[in-house]
Every structure is written in structure tokens, then in C-alpha cells.
Amino acid sequence: MSDDERAIRELVETWMEASRAGDTTAVLELMTDDVVFMVPGHEPFGKEEFRQNSEMMRDVRLDGNAEIREIEVAGDRAWIRNHIEITITQPDGGSLRRSGYTLTILRKGEDGRWRLYRDANLVS
């Protein structure tokens, strides 16, 4: 496994850990400032809308995992295909389970760190 692949796998695990912990600040640090998210039924959105959506879900508990199915590194860009399973637990105890695939493009910054650049999320 290359250093880049190892760093990308660590990014995915850090994202999942921070999401479980409700640490929006840590998640935001894992994306570029010009990140674009694409999800079914919504216009593409960026980092600020992601932050706002996360704040609205602050009382919701997330748990889950991401299984990387493919990684391809090409210079300062990489893409990964994940299968994600998420359980969302509401404050009243009700829960919702979602799963599906994501296709993510990452960009390596001048600091050598990989960050989320584009994300197409098909979790439903």
C-alpha cells in the first residue's frame, strides 16, 4: 500500500470517527474550501451548507462505517468508491438506517494532506 493510499484510508476513518463524535469542526478540516457535494434530490452544495446542515443535526447521533471498494491515485488527485452504512438516531430514540455508495474525488494540498474535493453520495 502506498503512502498516499494509507493517508486516504486514514482520512476516511477520521471522517467516520469525527462524524460519530459529532465533531463538525474536524470533518470540515477534511475538505477543501471549494468542496462540492452532490446528493439525490438537491442542488449541489458546498462547505458552508454542509456546516449548516451539520449544525441542524447536532442533537442527532450518527453511527456507521465506510468500506473503501476502490482507490485510484493520479498525482495530486485521487478518487475513491465507498460503500457506506449509517444509522441515524433521533433524540426521541427513533432510528433510521441508510446505506449506499459514494464516489469521492480528493485533492492533495500543498501541505501534503488529502482532502475531500468532490463527493457524489448515493446513500438512501
**pLDDT score of 123:** 85
pLDDT (tens digit per residue) in 69-112: 999 999 999 999 999 999 999 999 999 999 999 999 999 999 99
Task: Please tell me the pTM assigned to this model.
Answer: 0.92
Tell me what the mean pLDDT of segment 53-67 comes to.
Answer: 92
pLDDT digits (tens, 9 = 90+) for 8-30: 999 999 999 999 999 999 999 99
The pLDDT of residue 57 is: 87
> Distance between CA atoms of 47 and 75, rounded to whole angstroms?
24
Going by C-alpha positions, the residue among 19, 31, 28 that lies closest to residue 58 is 19
Q: Is residue 19 within 8 Å of residue 27, measured between CB atoms?
A: yes
Q: CATH code at 21?
A: 3.10.450.50
Q: How many structural domains is the chain composed of?
A: 1
User: Domain residues for 76?
Assistant: 3-121
